[in-house]
Structure 1
């Protein structure tokens, strides 16, 4: 029997082994497949809530105590959960999750583990500033290491270099980033009564199941945000982030979801959301994120046929930083600091997003307008506490064109060069990391070029309109002769 399945069943998990099995798929690793035709609404497996691994279910936080837990800020970000996973792994067979942790990957293709040369291939993309390796290692040395030394009875000195090393910290962090789910605490959870799992109750309940909302999960598909997404961490209860055995075995691909995780009072159930034919892969969902997020979090990209031809990810986006826009609007960016602070206080973002719709974002137009307000207009906007409307005009179009042009210039290669790299003649010569980097940056560049093409038409039309007005004013092109 499969070691994971054997462990899962020994811990009270239920799996319909006649309906689902695992196999290795080239380029995707281990995957779940249907053994027979499955209808919509079929429960593939059921996981007791007590079998999820989080800061709520691990006994480490209780053993460590609230004083030390809070002193080392282990409830901030994913440091506490990483430490729990390290500690559970260090317990060996004494940990109820030992059989599960032994099945998790130790090698990742995410940029966190790339060499400097490979990382350079991501220059200009939305990935490069979000890897967060420096901040992650700062947390390790500043928060986790002091905690380890404070309790040598819990964290055995002879295990520090193996179970609690920086390498293991990165590995567990990447496991959380790529495989965790957002599982909200239910009222009364954690009591003795809720901890008792009735096996006869696991595949059926009188209560309607609730979907683990992809919008609440950082990876879009029922899974958690990465440790560096600090803004979201401050708002959510990090205890909701949990490793969910068996559920994390399902792969995901753009537009392919056919099963989702639902939660009930005592269990989490993986249920099919559409019919699945025998032999087909069972796909969960990541919420269809862009390739930049897929690569950063999971170490892969989606390349499928696009509606307008070619291949890529229909969900790709491009991020434009506010400081680039400020540089295009003002020769003295420092003079704009008050307006920028006010923009942020009013709920504006410091990054603007373009997607496959070539229309320029209205919030970006509003920001440009704010930077262009005269002193009197700026005072009136402050008094009304109202942001400028996101309405395009010739002046905005001209600045937008400059912004897009400079944003496209941030990539070290051209669209044509990247397309050549991914051609059938060249793609086989690329390393996996470089291929993924080229796919990500090419998808972003195509969005920029498409938006630029539309903006260029608008700018040229406005210039032509201005020229016709000028011609009319001096009599040229009006059908009248100018007077002498």
Structure 2
């Protein structure tokens, strides 16, 4: 056997004999390298709905509670719970197990089945030429190398603050950090902390598997004790591949163990799939380094606000300095108290609008476009003072919120949206002869990444195309002038002087 197979055999033996994992005889760890899928879990017999595929004791998962670092440095354990975020904590824990404990680590047979750096395909590992294949996808803006570099410096400072004396922990490199962070990104789970729950049963648990900060995505990083969950590495559970359309198993937690249940019948010879989250292919590629060849169930493309502005500037070019006017309008929507109240404090000015493969477009995007399209049709809007613009934004935002709430939209808004989709699709240049089978057959890493990029872009194009008629399908279209008349009439009524009251005539005697 080659090293890959030897590591698999040792891993399964370790699971069953050293860390007390109960494994159903109906599954096995299989070798799918010939399909570029590495290890996976296969059904060796028919599996019924809700059947338990394996059960893992909580003490056999790796996190800040079970790690060797917390045993050797008890004072560091409290810091890991209270003063450090989930990501930094598990990164330090995993670095310690790999670099300090090494082969003496309780989890070494598990580490032996980790992917090598050469097999990591998350976007942090792509070179500049490979990343260019992802253009024009906005996923390029979410790689977050700057955020990762900041966390790398934080991790090094924490290692020093913890007083960890082991020399190998003082020489952590950027490559070490990226590898461990990428492994955590790809394979970790957020496990509810029952011990913390028992100590404070009355507090609401706001656990959200997708809300925790990610190494390359910025955002607030809650402490473990605040969040009441443990970011953990779970042997065998992370061996399952994931697929948004083929998912047939789910990991469920109880007080003492974690159990993988079949959520639908699984036939003998079928692969067992988990679900990593409701992610589009672009996010699956960014986080996990692969794509679903027939597209994710949750795919979307994005129309940048800059593209919408470009279309608006072209369609309303008769307005003097229309680009400056749009800036005024967006600023008023973001900051004016009356407008915010009219919109029920929804943040509708975003950098891009998501267009889902099922033809759904967020209501916030529809509302923003409707407000702007109506405003730009108001006579002489380009000559208004900033104060007048704000007053009109206040009035129009209220009317448009009511209009869309009643299931209606103006025809011009629908037309502008179609033009926005057409303009965005011009950015894409997807190979019409894309050979998707290369996802499984090529052994050249750069070629594989090129194909994955093309598959991802193809999914974004399909999503954008599906949303071209999204507003026409969702709303009843009305004439723009009808809404404009209502708005302008109200304006005239508000500015007209109040009629003088006639004095009652006195009766003459």
User: What range is the shorter-chain TM-score in?
Assistant: 0.7 to 0.9
- The question of whether the paired residues in 1 share the 8 Å contact of 2:57 and 2:257 is answered with yes
Aligned to 2:347: 348
- The question of whether the paired residues in 1 share the 8 Å contact of 2:65 and 2:77 is answered with no
Aligned to 2:302: 319
Q: Pick from 441, 457, 461: which aligns with 1:445?
A: 461
Distance in 1 (alpha carbons) for counterparts of 2:436 and 2:21: 46
Taking structure 1 as the reference length, the TM-score comes to 0.75
Aligned to 1:365: 366
| 443-452 or 386-395: bigger deviation | 386-395
Aligned to 1:240: 230
CA separation of 1:97 and 1:155: change in aligned 2, threshold 3 A? farther
Aligned to 2:209: 217
- The question of whether the paired residues in 1 share the 8 Å contact of 2:133 and 2:454 is answered with yes
Distance in 2 (alpha carbons) for counterparts of 1:424 and 1:81: 36
Q: Does 1:227 align with 2:215?
A: yes
Q: Does 1:289 align with 2:279?
A: yes
Aligned to 1:78: 87
- The question of whether the paired residues in 2 share the 8 Å contact of 1:339 and 1:370 is answered with no
CA separation of 1:314 and 1:187: change in aligned 2, threshold 3 A? closer
CA separation of 1:148 and 1:425: change in aligned 2, threshold 3 A? closer
Superposition pairs of residues 37-48 of structure 1, within 5 angstroms: 37-48=46-57
Aligned to 2:107: 97
Taking structure 2 as the reference length, the TM-score comes to 0.71
Shift of residue 278 of structure 1?
2.2
Q: Does 1:252 align with 2:234?
A: no
Q: Pick from 129, 143, 146: which aligns with 1:117?
A: 129
Q: Across the two proteins, how many residue pairs are aligned to each other?
A: 421
Q: Does 1:419 align with 2:432?
A: yes
Shift of residue 381 of structure 1?
7.2
SS of the counterpart of 1:431? helix
Distance in 2 (alpha carbons) for counterparts of 1:255 and 1:423: 18
| 268-277 or 2-11: bigger deviation | 2-11
| 227-236 or 237-246: bigger deviation | 227-236
- The question of whether the paired residues in 2 share the 8 Å contact of 1:13 and 1:48 is answered with yes
- The question of whether the paired residues in 2 share the 8 Å contact of 1:44 and 1:271 is answered with yes
Distance in 1 (alpha carbons) for counterparts of 2:16 and 2:198: 22
- The question of whether the paired residues in 2 share the 8 Å contact of 1:87 and 1:155 is answered with no
Distance in 2 (alpha carbons) for counterparts of 1:387 and 1:148: 55
Shift of residue 10 of structure 1?
3.8
- The question of whether the paired residues in 2 share the 8 Å contact of 1:88 and 1:95 is answered with yes
Q: Cα deviation per residue 1:353-376 (whole Å; 9 max; x = unaligned)?
A: 111233554321111234454533
Q: Does 1:165 align with 2:178?
A: no
Q: Cα deviation per residue 1:266-322 (whole Å; 9 max; x = unaligned)?
A: 000112222222222122223453211111111111123xxxxxxx44431012334
SS of the counterpart of 1:23? strand
- The question of whether the paired residues in 1 share the 8 Å contact of 2:187 and 2:233 is answered with yes
Distance in 2 (alpha carbons) for counterparts of 1:355 and 1:385: 23
Q: Does 1:145 align with 2:139?
A: no
Segments of structure 2 that go 5 or more residues without pairing to the other structure are 1-7, 200-205, 313-321, 376-388, 483-509
- The question of whether the paired residues in 1 share the 8 Å contact of 2:96 and 2:169 is answered with no
The structure with more radius of gyration: 2
Aligned to 1:130: 142
- The question of whether the paired residues in 2 share the 8 Å contact of 1:366 and 1:387 is answered with no
Shift of residue 86 of structure 1?
0.4
Q: Cα deviation per residue 1:191-226 (whole Å; 9 max; x = unaligned)?
A: 9xxxxxxxxxxxxxxxxxxxxx9x93239xxxx773
Q: Does 1:261 align with 2:251?
A: yes
SS of the counterpart of 1:183? strand
Aligned to 2:404: 389
Distance in 2 (alpha carbons) for counterparts of 1:69 and 1:187: 17
Shift of residue 410 of structure 1?
3.3
Distance in 2 (alpha carbons) for counterparts of 1:283 and 1:441: 24
Shift of residue 248 of structure 1?
0.6
SS of the counterpart of 2:347? coil
Distance in 1 (alpha carbons) for counterparts of 2:421 and 2:239: 40
Aligned to 2:420: 403
CA separation of 1:326 and 1:59: change in aligned 2, threshold 3 A? farther
SS of the counterpart of 1:338? helix
Aligned to 2:499: none
Q: Cα deviation per residue 1:445-479 (whole Å; 9 max; x = unaligned)?
A: 12223433677999xx999x99xxxxxxxxxxxxx
SS of the counterpart of 2:279? coil
| 368-377 or 264-273: bigger deviation | 368-377
- The question of whether the paired residues in 2 share the 8 Å contact of 1:367 and 1:388 is answered with no
Distance in 2 (alpha carbons) for counterparts of 1:249 and 1:331: 52
Q: Pick from 320, 323, 326: which aligns with 1:331?
A: 323
Q: Pick from 62, 66, 70: which aligns with 1:57?
A: 66
Aligned to 2:270: 280
